[in-house]
A and B are shown apart, each in its own frame.
Chain A
Amino acid sequence: MKIFVLFDGRGRHIEPDGDPESCPLETSPDRLVNELKAGQERLRSTPVDDLIGLCDAAGRAWTQPGDEVGRMMGGLAIGFLPLWLRRGSLEPLVAQALRGEAGAIDGFVPQMPGAHRQHRAQPRGVLVHWLAGNVPLLGMISVIQGLLTKNANLVKVSRQNAGVLPCFLAALAHVRYRRPDGSEVAGTLLTDAVRAIYTDREDSAGTALSALADVRVAWGGREAVESIMNLPRRFGTEDIVFGPKTSFVVVGAEKMAGQAEARKTAALVARDAVALGQRGCNSPHTIFVERGGALTPEAFAGLLGEELGRAARQVPPDVAPQEAFQILTRRAEYDMRGQAWYSDGVRWSVFYSDEDRGLATPCYGRTLFVRPVDDVFEVAALCSINTQTAGLALDERRLKLAEALTARGVERCPEIGQMSLYEAPWDGMYPMDRMVRWVSA
């Protein structure tokens, strides 16, 4: 059994673009977990307010102009993460997940105001996270939630981008939070309860890690997630799956009333497409545009091309050769049978055909397929548990369409421009709620 340790209590052992198999080798998962549990004990005895304070301090530091970590996050198209770490974001997130009372993770609290009966959230224990290689830093979201719920976190990174998460954990370890009373807490309080590791998919370590887990957190594509879920687990182990889903945008005819409003809508859609490098399950690929506005869906596609080009200039492209090839194939196809707007190189592309219906197969690389609909409610029939986020550009009909879409499987219906923000609920759950056991006294 080979477990390569990329980050532990001594810091990181890998460069951002390093080879995980050059890191120190551990052959005993039990030893790793025992070390982690010592770190977890310190977490358990610390108020959640301090843990949020540390995250907030990290978020503040990483949004300072010129900050190297923040710059790297921007480069990884996950620039929202520092904002997500801020107190204003995390406090309500913890409270929502913990039945409205964040203090329930620190000790017993009344079940209801004035009630005699008390309850609290106990950490489940050891969280094993399997991260996807496509958006490596998105895994920080589940790791941070694991820490806020005072669990030990064993994070198995993907070979692709293996060094990215250890780099940010190392940065988190250096953060300091000054309490209101002037005393300081170090970021190592958080990171001592995290180990980042790499194992080959074929190695028996995967089975051992699954058996150790109290909660299995899986990010990734269908094949990866299914192979993790098929590993043997102990009775009572909880699973949190952030699996493969696709997202889209619905633009109502009311947003096509004039050039200025349509352009504003296009700019927001473009922002959502560029965030996360269009690799997130919440990244839009298909843009349904309702006919009947002053601007046609085709005219909107042209505007979207201009705005996508503008947004794409601000973030360097991250396009794999296979994606580039797919994009070029679609460009050739739409040049022949529809309309295509695109950059030199493969920085961005927008495609339109009057004949196209349904959800487009994602092409990635900032590629958007604009498809006309006669009525926005037609889109509901296309939804299932495989559709995650529907960005809605609608006025009065917004909630009514959200009702129809979510009834068919869609998980989120944010305003356009906010699709990439991580919020709760997510994928149909409050993840932190799944990371704790509710007990009463």
Chain B
Amino acid sequence: MPFLPVSIFKRVALESVSERDVVRVLKSSATSSQTPSRVVLDRITRDRQMRTLAVLMSALMGSTRRPFVVLDAAGAQGADMELSARVAGLRGYLMMASETHYALEARDGRLELNVDKLEDLLSRLQARQLPLCLIGYTYMLYQYVVVPLARTGRRLQLPAGSMVLHFGGWKRLERQAVDRVRLDAEVEKVFDMDQPCVRDVYGFTEQLGIIYPDDGHGVRLAPVYSEVIVRDPVTLEPLPDGAPGLLEFITPLPHSYPGIALLLDDIGRIVSRDREHGGRYGTRFEVLGRARGTEIRGCGDTLPEQIYQVREMARAEA
């Protein structure tokens, strides 16, 4: 199956359906190239994405909804494009939320953690014995939550079975010499969890709906909705398992644009293809970084609503 390099969506408008069938145009973050990807969704694609995401989220955290504590500020929508986009980016995940709380407060244009308020919230949830999900962008988790909490020397207890989900790439944290191991250690210092569960989620706008949370150690599973191939950067041939190369993802989800087989500029390697420890079957892989040592694909561009500019096509929705 021929693949397209994912950055073609930054250079050419690609549509597989007529304009009247387009219900939404997604523009991803433009982390490195300054140019956003443009992806058109029709109703079929959008529905497939939402259904797939729901299944994958259930597989990750169980079918029972749980309280979500968002590592961002509430009520910022509309006031600040970047902030509202960040908050919008979480919306897809929030379909798994039984209730939603926001951990940060915007004060004088700056985000701040109200430690007392967060502690109070966690105590109330603890009393109800509800496992929760702390969720947010990787750099915000570190910058606005972990660092301030560590500064106060306080350690907040999370209800049993709670989970920390973060996404968006490591570029900003790499500048501060914060890697995965250090982030996990710092998170465990400031949050008391009975069984530490910190997951880094990988994904990209051009195959929205599919997320690749890691297992806590950087290994990710390609679900039944997708497959991963690692290609030699020079010959473009598939590489043997274990060898690092360019990552290609294949999924049948896209109907409105040619995104079924996409080659990314992220470097990764296949770890195994077995069912491990009684877990699920599938190809397990690691993302080692952006080609040529730049950042891992980022900005949390993993969900249908995680878009910096969303243009609703009123005609199609009508």
Contact = CB atoms under 8 A, between A and B. Distances in A.
Given A337-B12, A345-B236, A322 B294 contact: yes
B291 interface: yes
A346 B8 CA distance: 17
Interface in A323-382: 323-326, 328-329, 332-333, 336-337, 344-347
A211 interface: no
A345 B234 contact: yes
Interface in A67-115: none
Given A345-B234, A345-B235, A322 B4 contact: no
A332 B234 contact: no
Nearest to A330: B11
A185 B183 CA distance: 59
Contacts of A336: 12
Given A329-B5, A332-B4, A322 B291 contact: yes
**In terms of DSSP, what is the predominant structure of the interface of chain A?**
helix
Contacts of B232: 345
A236 interface: no
Contacts of B263: 325, 328
Interface residues on B, range: 20 to 34
A383 B8 CA distance: 29
A317 interface: yes
B267 A321 contact: yes
A9 B249 CA distance: 52
A329 B5 CA distance: 5
Given A333-B8, A336-B12, A325 B234 contact: no
A323 B265 CA distance: 9
A344 B8 contact: no
A322 B292 contact: yes
Interface string B220-244: 0000000000001111110000000
A317 B267 CA distance: 19
B7 A325 contact: yes
A337 B267 CA distance: 28
Interface string A260-304: 000000000000000000000000000000000000000000000
B5 A321 contact: no
A199 to B, nearest CB: 19
Contacts of A329: 5, 7-8, 11
A361 B232 CA distance: 24
A321 B233 CA distance: 5
A441 interface: no
Contacts of A439: none
Nearest to A328: B5
B246 interface: yes
Nearest to A319: B234
Given A333-B12, A337-B12, A324 B7 contact: no
Contacts of A319: 233-234
Nearest to B11: A333
A322 B265 contact: yes
Interface in B277-301: 290-292, 294
Interface of A: 317, 319-326, 328-329, 332-333, 336-337, 344-347
Given A322-B290, A332-B8, 14 more contacts: A321-B291, A321-B292, A322-B292, A322-B294, A324-B233, A324-B291, A325-B7, A325-B291, A328-B236, A329-B8, A333-B11, A336-B12, A344-B236, A345-B237
